[in-house]
Every structure is written in structure tokens, then in C-alpha cells.
Amino acid sequence: MYTRILVALDRSPMSEQVFQQAIDLAKATNANVMLLHVLSPDEEGSPDTSMMREEYFPGLSSEIAQLYRQQWQEFEEQGIKMLRDRCKDATNAGVKAEFKQIFGTPSRTICEFAREWGADLIVLGRRGHSGLKELFLGSVSNYVLHHAPASVLTIQSRGKDIPASQKQRAEVVS
């Protein structure tokens, strides 16, 4: 079955669902787990890059840059803390786990890291964007489904804007 499961996490509420599904699967298959967080300025909660634009704050660019660096460092530290906590949870559940945090474009970084690490399954969330929203925002899960070097398990969001027929749906694509 699966022996090396890569779990792509972010700070969204959906990460809890993704993590739990991956841990349940790892326990059932006795797989090792790698928890991956991709640092990206596009992630929810990341420091606002618009504050770096000098036209908004002329003459304050060095102070603004320092504030941005400080906020970004805190963002990185929060990511590491999240991963450490999840790694501890996995270990307590009897799953061998490690973690990695990398700066990059989430979709490509997930696929590249899966290849380097030798993952045979990638588990990630799918928020259910469709239409124009997906066209303009892109879709990490869609990119990973089409470019992954391994099987992919996407966990559908349980958000209230998702139709009942799609709630708790998971798709496995090889």
C-alpha cells in the first residue's frame, strides 16, 4: 500500500481535516508521514505585501521593510510551531512523522518535494473554488493532481458554502 505519505498543510481550518485523514491512513498502512508547509505570500494570514509599496508610505520604506521582515519572521515561526505540534500529535497517535517548511509556490513546491522525498501518496485539501474564482486564484489541488509524481488524496472542505452532496468527499487519483 502506501509507505511514505506527504501531507501538505497550511493555516486554514481545513488543515485539521487533512491532517486527521492522513494520520488515519498512515496508521492503517503503517506509513511514515512528512508534514509539509509551504511558506507563501499568498497564504491566508501571511504579512501583507502591499505595505511594502513606497507610494503608500513615502519616506518610511526602511521602517516599513523592517516591520514586514519582522512580521514575516513571526509568520515563519508560527508555521514551524504548527508543524511541531502536528508532528507531536502524529507521534502520539503512533505514526512516525517528520516535518519540513519551505518557501515557494505551493503547487509546484508540493510536487517537487514529493519527488525528492519519494512520496507514494500526497494528501492535501481542496477548498472547492469553481468558475472564475478558481480561474483567477488558481488551484493548488488541481495543479498537484495533474503534476504529482505520486497518487493524490484530496480532502474536500466541509465549509458551509459547499453543497451537502460534496461535503466530506474525498477523491483518490493515481
Percent of the chain with pLDDT over 90: 60
Q: Tell me the residue type at 44.
A: E
Q: Tell me the residue type at 157.
A: S
Contact 102, 38 (CB under 8 A): yes
- Determine the average pLDDT of the residues in 101-123: 98
Strand partners, 102: 38
| Count of Cβ atoms closer than 10 Å to residue 90 Cβ | 23
**153 closest CA partner among 11, 24, 13:** 24
Greater model confidence, 85 or 165: 85
How far is CA 114 from each of CA 4, 71, 111, 123, rounded to the nearest angstrom? 9, 29, 5, 11
d(CA 155, CA 123): 7
**103 closest CA partner among 55, 36, 169, 167:** 36
pLDDT of residue 157: 78
pLDDT of residue 162: 43
- Determine the average pLDDT of the residues in 8-31: 96
Q: What is the model's pTM?
A: 0.82
Phi, psi torsion values for 108, nearest 5 degrees: -70, -40
**Could you give all domains of the chain from N- to C-terminal order, each with its CATH number?**
4-43+82-173 (3.40.50.620)
Strand partners, 36: 8, 100
d(CA 170, CA 153): 7
d(CA 104, CA 115): 15
132-168 per-position pLDDT tens digit = 555 544 589 989 999 999 999 999 877 654 444 444 4
